[in-house]
A = this chain, B = another copy of it.
Amino acid sequence: MDDPARRPRVVIIGGGFAGLSAARALARAPVDVLIIDRTNHHVFQPLLYQVATTALAPSDISAPIRWILRRQKNVATRLGSVQAIDRTTRTLRLAEDDAPVPYDYLVVASGARHAYFGHPEWEAVAPGLKSLEDARRIRRRILLALERAEWEADAAERDAQMTFVIVGGGPTGVELAGVLPEMCRGAFRPDFRRIDTSKVRVVLVEGGPRLLPSFPPSLSARAAHDLARLRVEVRTSTFVTDVDADGVSMGAERIAARSVFWAAGNAASALSRLLGAPLDAAGRVLARSDLSLPDDDRVFVAGDIAAMPWTEGTFVPGVAPAATQMGQRAARNIRARIAGEPTTPFRYVNTGELATIGRHMAVASLAGGRIRIAGYVAWVFWLFLHIMYLVGFRNRVSVLLQWAYNYIFYERGVRLISEAEDAVRG
C-alpha cells in the first residue's frame, strides 16, 4: 500500500514533446516528478532536417531538459537509459546505476525509431533523422560526398557522390529533398572549383501513390509540382528493394548513390517491448483510450510509442501536437487516478499539418484539411509557427537570425564535418 503521507512519485521516460508536456501538466499536482532521458536535451524534431542540411546548429533546436524544467520545483531530471521495467514491484532499472528507481505512476514517452521494413542492415548505410546524432550524420554525409566528388577522377563515381536518394515521401522526406538542390545551387557553388554543385541529383522515393499521404490530395500534387520545379526526381508507387553503400535498387531499376537518407516508416522505441503490453505491428503500445495499459492503471503511454485509433482505421499521426496532447492527457489522468476520479479518454485535436519545400514554398493543411494553403503564404506561416513553438528565447533569436542570414545571403552557416568516424569512406 502507498504511504498516504508520501507524495506519489511520477516517473516519465523521455524528454520529447510528450514527456515534457506531461511533466509540465503536473506542475501544480501534489506529486514528485522524475523525468528520465538517454540524452540531456529536448530536441525540436520538426527542425531536425535544417540541422541535417547545414542551416542551423544542433544547439539552435535543442535545450537541456533540466534547464527547460528548472523553475518547476516538483521535477527532477535524470540522464539515464532504462533497461528494465518491473510492473510488479513498480521499479525501473537504469544502465548507469544498480539501484532500482521506484514509481507510483509511470509515463512511457520514449518515442519512435525508423522502420527499415525488415531490413535493419539498411540503417548503417541509410541513416534516418530522429535525433541530433542522426542530423549530424546526414550533414556529414552530404558535406563529405561533395568533398569527395570535387577530387574524384572517375566520372561514374563522381556522379554517385553527387546523387542523393531520399526514401519516404512524408514531411521529413519532402523537406530534405526540397532543401538539397537549392543549398547545392546557392550556398555551395562558389566554394568548389572542379565540380558544379548545381548538378547534384536528388531522387525522392515514395511507396504510396502520392507524396505527403496524410495531406489532402491537392496539396500532395502541389508538393510534387514544386519539387519538380526544383529538379527533384519524384518517384511515387515505387518500392525500395535493396540499399547498400553503392546505391539503391527499386525492383529492376538501380540508382548509384553514395548518400541514401531514410525518412520512411516509424517503429516504436525499443522500450515498448519491456512493458509486457499488447503491441501493434510497428511495436507501438495498444493502450486503453485513457492512455493507460490494458492491465495496469499505473502505467501510461504518450507520443509516438502509443498506437491510438483515430478516424476510420487510421492512427493518431506521429507529429509534435499529437505527442503534446497525449502527454497532457496522460498527466491529467494520473491526477484523476490520484484524486480517485474517473479518467478521460484521449481525443486528438488535429491542428493541421505543414511541410516546407525549399527556400520559400510550403504546403499547409489546417482545421482537418478544411483550410489548405500553399506557396509563399504557407511558408511564412510555417516560419512563424516554428519560431513560436521553439523552446527558449535564445534559440528563437538565434534561429531567426540564421534564417535571415541564410535567406538573404544564400549561405549556410553550419558546415562542420565533425566526427572522424565517417572521415574515410567505408
Cα distance, A37 to B115, chains bound together (Å): 37
CB 8 Å contact bits of A413-425 with B (1 = contact, 0 = none): 1111111100111
- Residues of B near A58 (CB, < 8 A) are 57, 416, 418
A158 to nearest B CB, angstroms? 13
- Residues of B near A192 (CB, < 8 A) are 66
Q: Is the CB of B79 within 8 A of A147?
A: yes
Q: Is the CB of B402 within 8 A of A398?
A: yes
Q: Is the CB of B417 within 8 A of A39?
A: yes
Q: Classify the secondary structure of A's interface with B.
A: mixed
Asked if A401 is at the interface of the complex by the 8 Å CB criterion, the answer is: yes
Asked if A366 is at the interface of the complex by the 8 Å CB criterion, the answer is: no
Given contacts A70-B190, A77-B191, A96-B424, 8 further A-B contacts (CB under 8 A): A40-B415, A63-B415, A64-B415, A78-B150, A96-B425, A99-B153, A133-B420, A394-B411
How many copies altogether?
Answer: 2
A53 to nearest B CB, angstroms? 13
Count how many chain A residues have C-beta atoms less than 8 Å from C-beta atoms of the other chain: 60
- Residues of B near A190 (CB, < 8 A) are 70-71
CB 8 Å contact bits of A93-130 with B (1 = contact, 0 = none): 00111010000000000000000000000000000000
CB 8 Å contact bits of A67-107 with B (1 = contact, 0 = none): 10011010011110100000000000001110100000000
- Residues of B near A150 (CB, < 8 A) are 78
A394-B411, A401-B397 are contacts. A416–B193 as well, Cβ < 8 Å? no
- Residues of B near A384 (CB, < 8 A) are none
- Residues of B near A136 (CB, < 8 A) are 418
CB 8 Å contact bits of A386-426 with B (1 = contact, 0 = none): 00000001110110011001000001011111111001110
